[in-house]
Structures are given as C-alpha cells and as structure tokens.
Amino acid sequence: MNGLGKKVLSPILLIAGILMMIIALVLDFSGAETTLRGPMLIIGAVLFFVGLYLFPTLRYHRAIVYFIFLFPLLFTFAVTVIIPLILGIGYSFTDWTGIRYTQVVGFANYTAMFKDPAFIWSVLITFLFVALNMILVNLVGFLLALLCTSGLRGGGFFRASYFLPNLIGGIVLGYIWQFVFSNVLIGLTGNISMISQTKSALFAIIVVYIWQYAGYIMLIYITGLTQIPGDVLEAAKIDGASPVQTLFQVKIPMIASTITICTFLTLTSAFKQFDVNMALTNGTGSVPNFLGNYLSNGTQMLALNIYNTAISKNNYALGQAKAVLFFIILAIVSLIQVRMSNKKEVEL
C-alpha cells in the first residue's frame, strides 16, 4: 500500500508542483495582475519537493534527502548574500541610483571618494577608533577577568552585571547615553555636552563602546584563565614567583590563543560600529582644518559614512563603492586573523 501510494502520489505531486511553478512564472513574465502567483509558486515548489521526497527510488533517495535538506538555507543565502554582493560590486562601477543605472563609470566612484576629505577623515578616525578600542577593550576586559577570578565574593553577580550592557541593542543604548551625556554629565562639563565637541565626542563613543563590550571580552578571558591547569600555577607558586611574575610569565602566555580571539573579535566589531554612532552623535562634530577643509562630520565612522552617503545624500553608487572598500579592508583583516591563528595553533 505504502509503496503503491508513493508510486502514484509522487509523480502526481511532482507534475502538479512543476505545473504550478510554470504557471506562476508565466504569469510573472507576462506581468498579469493576480495576487495568486506568489503563493502559487511557493505551493508549487513545496509540492515539487514532497513529490521528490516520495520518489520511489532506493538508490537516489539519500541524494534526494541531501538536496532537500540543503536547498532552503542555500537558497535564502544566495538571494540575500551572494546575489547582492555580486550586484553590489558591479553597481559600484556605475552611476546606480538605488533603482537603476544608466552607464558604467569605471573607477570614477572610487577616485571620487578619495578626493573627498570628509571620507578620508572617516577612514582615519575609524582606524583610530578601532585601534584604541582594540587595546582598551581588551585591557579592561582582561583586568575585569583577573578581578573576577581573584576570588572575590559574589563573582557570579559581578560577572553578570559587567556583561549586562552587552544585551542591549546599540540604538537604545545610544539614546540612553545621549541622555547621560546631555542631561547628567553636562553639569560636570559646563553647559557644553561632551557629545557636541568632536574630540570629547570621540572619547564618549569609546567610553560607551568599552561599557558595552568589555563585559563580553571579560567572559572570554575568564574562560581562558580558568582553563589554565591548576598544577602549573601551583608549580609557579612553589618556585616562588610573585603574582605579577605569574601573570606575565605564566598566565598571559598560556592564554595567547584567547588573546588572539578577543583581539580580532573587538577588531571586526569595532569596524562595523554603526548603531551607537548613529544614536549618539549621528556623525556630527566639527574639524576646523583637515587638509585645508572645515569638516562637519567629525565623529562619523566609516559604516555611518556609507549609510549617510547612500541614504541621506542619495548617492547610492558612491555609497556602494565605499562599502566595497570597507569590505576589502575587513577581508584583509580577516585573512590576517586566519594566518595568525593558524600559526598559533602550530606553535601550540
């Protein structure tokens, strides 16, 4: 019964599914006005897959299952990542308006962005921000980890509270801090909020970033520190090593791989910083004289600059070209990371 049912059902479903998909596609191409074509296509595809699944074969059954299992995720992945990536790289060489393009302009977008001092400034402060954050977040995170593993009471509570800011989304967090800077700390800074002056605003962004991220990095360091075998520390103690010596000569070398992980984690996430930047200052801030120009986007990081170029200034092609450059920078960073972590593994 089962076998017979499958033999009949499978071809019916397959044919019905294919037919529905074809009809839906024909309707699409002919531009017919019917709301049913979308659901029809989906139902057709599902019927097709059910039919395929029930296809009476023992030899290919495994292959069919593999296909059905892989397809959904690969399909969404292709539509949301691969196709836009390829299109995006292509668009960066055209005069794309976000809707259509009329001509290919070659490298014009790329040369244009390097002639724009505001963009160069964005790139520079992004690098500065990333470098400072990488150092500070790791330092603070590591010190917090040492503190939490130093046998203080209620370690669990401290761990949880230091980690807490990491749970909050950047937009909400940015507004909370805007309140802190403009309404609470303004008493200390004398009528001028920290976030309205470029230098102090950059400092403010770093403070907020550390506040948000150090707890997370701390957790990873704690894991690294607690994985150091107890007998190694015991041996160091017997050898008469001071706590400082133990720290620098035993603990830090032992968690080298953790340090690599944390460094790159902070590196990539600091590069992509967007939400807090947008909610806190929206990129404003003045730079009196940069390459002979007065700039108004003193606190605008690269990610926000890209967004602003495309959405606010309505220059999609230029924004896309900047995004491609951003991609290249991140790709290089990631390649270095892979190189370095491979090396570390060999050493270990």
Partner 1 sequence: MKKKLLGTLLAATLVTSLVACGSAETTTGADTSADTTAAESQAPAADADTSADSAASGQSIRLVNGKIEVDEMLKEAAAKYQEETGVEVIIESMGGGIDIQGTLKGYYQADNMPDIFVNGGDTDFANWTGQLVDMSDQPWVSDTDAAYKDADGKVIGFPYTTEAIGLAYNADILEKAGIDPAGLTSPAAMQEAFETLDSKKDELGLTAVIGYCAEATNLYWSSGNHLFGIYEDGGLSRDDTTYFDLLSDGGQIDTERFLEYAKMIQLFNQYSDPALLVSGTYDQQILGFASGQYAFVTQGSWIGATMTSDDAEQYAAAGNFKVGMAPYAFLDGIDTIMTNSPSWWAVYDNDNKDASLAFLNWLAGDEGQKILVKKAGFISPFKSCSFVADDPFAETITEYTAAGKTSAWHWLGNKEGLAQNALGVVYQDYASGAIADPQSFTDIVAQVCAQYYGQ
Partner 2 sequence: MGEGRQVGKGVRIRGAICTVIGIVIAIYVLFPFYLVVLNAFKAQTSIVESPVSLAGAKFTQLLTNLSSVVNNSNFNFWYAFATSAVVTIVSLVLLALLGSMAAWVISRNHKTKWATAIYMVFIASMIIPFQVVMLPLISTFRDVGKFLGISMLQSIPGIVFAYLGFGGAMTVFILTGFIKGIPYDLEEAAAIDGCSPEGTFFRIILPLLTPVITTVTILNGMWIWNDYLLPSLMLGQNGKVKTLPVAVQAFVGSYVKQWDLILTAALLAILPMIILFLIAQKQIMKGMIEGAVKG
Binding site for partner 1 (CB under 8 A): 2, 33-35, 38-39, 42-43, 46-47, 49-50, 53-54, 98-99, 116, 182, 186, 191-193, 195-197, 281-282, 284-286, 288, 293-294, 296-298, 308, 311-314
The least distance separating partner 2 from the CB of residue 235, rounded to whole angstroms, comes to 20
Per-residue interface string for the shown chain with partner 2, residues 144-183, x marking contact by CB under 8 A: x--xx-xxxxx--xxxxxxxxxxxxxxxx--xxx-xx--x
- 76 makes contact with partner 2 (CB under 8 A): yes
Q: Please list the residues that pair with 293 across neighbouring strands.
A: 290
The least distance separating partner 2 from the CB of residue 320, rounded to whole angstroms, comes to 5
Whole-number Å distance between alpha carbons of 242 and 247:
9
Site residues for partner 2, window 101-130 (CB under 8 A)?
none
**Who contacts 2 (Cβ-Cβ below 8 Å, separation ≥6)?**
none
The least distance separating partner 1 from the CB of residue 288, rounded to whole angstroms, comes to 7
- 44 makes contact with partner 2 (CB under 8 A): no
> Applying CB under 8 A, which part among 4-12, 109-117, 262-270, 284-292 lies near partner 2?
262-270
When the beta carbons of 95 and 158 are compared against partner 1, the nearer one is 95
When the beta carbons of 188 and 348 are compared against partner 1, the nearer one is 188
Separate counts of helices (H) and strands (E) for the chain = 17, 2
SS3 at position 301? coil
Residue 170 contact, options partner 1, partner 2, none, Cβ 5-8 Å cut-off depending on partner type: partner 2
CB of 184 closer than 8 Å to CB of 195 = no
The least distance separating partner 1 from the CB of residue 43, rounded to whole angstroms, comes to 6
**Who contacts 302 (Cβ-Cβ below 8 Å, separation ≥6)?**
122, 123, 126, 271, 322, 326
The sign of the CA dihedral 101, 104, 106, 112 is negative
Which amino acid is present at 69? F
Whole-number Å distance between alpha carbons of 308 and 280:
15
The least distance separating partner 1 from the CB of residue 44, rounded to whole angstroms, comes to 11
- 312 makes contact with partner 2 (CB under 8 A): no
- 39 makes contact with partner 2 (CB under 8 A): yes
> Applying CB under 8 A, which part among 112-120, 232-240, 272-280, 284-292 lies near partner 2?
272-280
Whole-number Å distance between alpha carbons of 299 and 296:
9
**Who contacts 316 (Cβ-Cβ below 8 Å, separation ≥6)?**
91, 96, 97, 98, 310
